[in-house]
Structure formats: C-alpha cells, structure tokens
Amino acid sequence: MRLNAPFFLAPLFALVLMINGASAETSRIKDLASVEGVRQNQLVGYGLVVGLNGSGDTLNNAPFTKQSLTAMLERLGVNTRGANLRTANVAAVMVTADLPAFGRRGARIDVTVSALGDAKSLQGGTLLVTPLMGASGEIYAVAQGSVAIAGFQAEGAAATLTRGVPTVGRIANGALIEQEIDYQFKDTRSVRLSLRNPDLTTARRIASAINEYMASNTAESTDPSTVNLMIPKNFRGNMVQLLTEIEQLRVDPDQIARVVIDERSGVIVMGKDVRVSTVAIAQGNLTISVTEQPLVSQPDAFNFGSGAQTVVVPRTTIQVDQGANSKLAVLKESVTLKELVDGLNALGIGPRDIISILQAIKTAGALQADIVVM
C-alpha cells in the first residue's frame, strides 16, 4: 500500500532520524577522542546460581551443570559421585563484567549474569563465588551476590506469560577487584589520542587546537584516528592536569556524508552534509488484494430428504492496483538536508520506499554520500 502522508508521520514501525546541526557547533576533545591506555577490560567467568524456585537447569539436559554441582559439593566435603541428582534449583551461568581503567584492589564493579543451560528464570537466585578472568587467563575479580532480574515468567496449564528476559540478571557492585592492571600513566613522555570516529580533518583540527592552546608544536595528527601528544617539560609528572585542560578544548568535528539504513525496522538516518543532484523519480507499487468470502449452500425443504448436503462454496475476489496514478517527479538539487527531506516528503511515500529510492539514487550517481545498510 502506498503511503500519502509524510514519512515522519508514518506508524510506529517506521522512524526517521535526522541529524541537522549547524557547522559552527563544536564538541569537546573529551567527547571526540579517548586517551590510549585509559580503557576498560572485559572479564568473564563461569559459575552457579542457586536458590531458584524450581526454574533452574534440568540436570539431565545440562550435564555441565550437574558436573559443576558435583565438583562444588566435593570441595565442600559432600560426596555425591554416582548419586542421581534431581534438583531444579541450580543454574549454570556465564558472568561478565568490565574492569574500569585504573580499577584498584578492593573496589567493587557491577556484573551481568546470563543463563547457560535451559533454566527458565534466575529470579531469586544467588550467584556463588565466581572468579572473573581476563583475556590473558588471569583472575582479576571475584563475583558473588543476589541476582536481580528485570523480567519475569508465569505459566499455567494452558498459557505462559514472559515479560522481559528472566534468564539474564545483574548484580550491582557484585564483584571485588583482586588484581590491578599495571599502567605507568604518570611517568609517560608521550600519549596518543584515539578518535572515536576516525577522520583526517577532525584529527588535524584536534592537533591544531592543542598546539594553539599550548603555544607550541606538541601535538601531531599521524593518521585519521590518532593524534600524538608530546608531554611538555612543565607538565611531566602531572599528566592528569595536562589531559584535564586538553580534553576541555572545543573542536568542530568533520565527518563523511553518510546515510544509514536499517531495512528491518525502516529506520533512516541522514547526516547534515548529504547532498543530492537533480534527479527524476517515479514511484509506484503493485498491490494485489485477495479476499475470501465463502458461502454456505443448503438444500431447500423439497430436497432435504433426497441426499442433498450442506456445502461451503468458495468465493474469491481479486483486486489489482498497479499504481496508475503515480507520476514521474523531479527532485531538485538539495543545498541542505532539510531541502532533501522536504523533496522526498513531497513525493508522498513511506520510509521503506524511501530506502529503495535512496539506494537507486546512489546507483545513479546522484547521491553524494555513503550508504551504510545495517
């Protein structure tokens, strides 16, 4: 069906986001780049959640849960080798966390707990002591605590209701840092800034802003994603003060004109630098409607006893709309993103048709922007 309303008034299944900021707007270097070495590290561990109200793993279907439960009980002095365990109050889980930069021993971090077997819910469960390892295999934290979930599940004899994801939970401050990642931040002689959105112009502008502020050539952009910063003598040993001052400098970021499309949800995001050359567009849909209205044919009173039967007679109505009213329209060359959007809205089409039109315009060479399909 063809939509005649502007696409930003379409139903909930379609959403169009437009990024239309003035070129004079600036951003902090803190929001554009990160300092090399100042980053998080991913941790992962395998553990058991106990105390579930019959919603845990089925031990016959999850042998790893049974083996883990047996090994844990043996460490506690309980011998269950050869026993037929039937408990449904235990679930095997994967525990993940992010170790923050410069996390100190004894500090607490949040952890996420995710069911590994066929457990139905982790509600009311308690995570037992679980070591959390980094990519190197070393243990950096230990997690334990009560699991809080945002979803729930209720079931009866003929119906089941699930809200959210009851097999994933979170433990706030659920892990203690046991080992720190050593990084000599204070005594370093140089540091690198990594751009979150690599761009040659943005990298050059960041380096220029730093050099202007420091009144010396201390920063240099080496590639689209890196700015090297040499530490001035008066800031050596005081990196925190230097980076605090630099990250507040404001820069006008640049970026490639880009159109991002999510065909599954109909989302279109267009940057402010998107341009389109003059192009003619014709849009029409072929719509076929098939309607079934079966009729019931019954024998009349005179033929009721003669073997006549009541039958259902099918009746099908087919309508075809070839979009005969669609005409060829000219989309004039846009100077701004708003004019481009207004031109597409003037055609009276929906977001999913706009996705096809944008791809066709790009193929014709009239769209000066990259198209990214998610």
d(CA 156, CA 166): 17
Residue 318 has pLDDT above 80, yes or no: no
Q: Give the pLDDT of residue 13.
A: 34
What is the model's pTM?
0.66
Report whether 74 contacts 80 (CB < 8 A). Answer: yes
For the residues 242-255, what does the mean pLDDT come to? 90
d(CA 196, CA 198): 6
Residue 6 has pLDDT above 70, yes or no: no
Residue 96 has pLDDT above 50, yes or no: yes
* Range from 26-30, 37-41, 102-106 carrying the lowest mean pLDDT: 37-41
d(CA 176, CA 186): 25
Tokens of 158: 């003929």
For the residues 224-233, what does the mean pLDDT come to? 90
Residue 155 has pLDDT above 60, yes or no: yes
Report whether 285 contacts 323 (CB < 8 A). Answer: yes
Q: With bands split at pLDDT 50, 70 and 90, how would you rate the model's confidence at 187?
A: confident
Write the pLDDT tens digit of every residue in 319-350: 655 555 555 556 566 555 566 667 667 766 67
Residue 239 has pLDDT above 70, yes or no: yes
For the residues 305-329, what does the mean pLDDT come to? 61
Residue 217 has pLDDT above 80, yes or no: yes
Tokens of 169: 């939970």
Q: Give the pLDDT of residue 332.
A: 60
d(CA 355, CA 168): 35
Report whether 281 contacts 259 (CB < 8 A). Answer: no
Of 19-23, 116-120, 275-279, where does the model show the most confidence?
116-120
Domains along the chain with CATH numbers: 7-21+258-286+322-373 (no CATH), 27-38+185-251 (3.30.1360), 41-177 (no CATH)
For the residues 8-13, what does the mean pLDDT come to? 35
Pairing of strands 311-313, 295-297: antiparallel
d(CA 351, CA 357): 10
Distances (CA, A) of 80 to 69, 72, 195: 9, 10, 55
Amino acid identity, position 202: T
* Range from 84-93, 226-235, 315-324 carrying the lowest mean pLDDT: 315-324
237 conformational bin, left if phi > 0, alpha if psi -120 to 50, beta if neither: left
In terms of C-beta density within 10 A (0-12 exposed, 13-18 middle, 19 or more buried), how is residue 148 classed? middle
Q: Which helix (H) or strand (E) holds 281?
A: strand 279-282
d(CA 153, CA 151): 7
Q: Give the pLDDT of residue 212.
A: 93
Using the CB atoms, write b or e for 215-254: b if 16+ within 10 Å.
eeebbebeeebbbbbebeeebeeebeebbeebbebebebe
> Does residue 291 or residue 322 have the better pLDDT?
291
Tokens of 58: 């089925």
For the residues 208-227, what does the mean pLDDT come to? 92
d(CA 61, CA 154): 22
Sequence length of the chain is: 374
> What distance lies between CA 24 and its chain's CA centroid?
30
Q: Give the pLDDT of residue 282.
A: 65
Question: Mind giving me the DSSP string for 202-268?
Answer: HHHHHHHHHHHHHTS--EEEEETTEEEEEPPGGGTT-HHHHHHHHTT-EE------EEEEETTTTEE
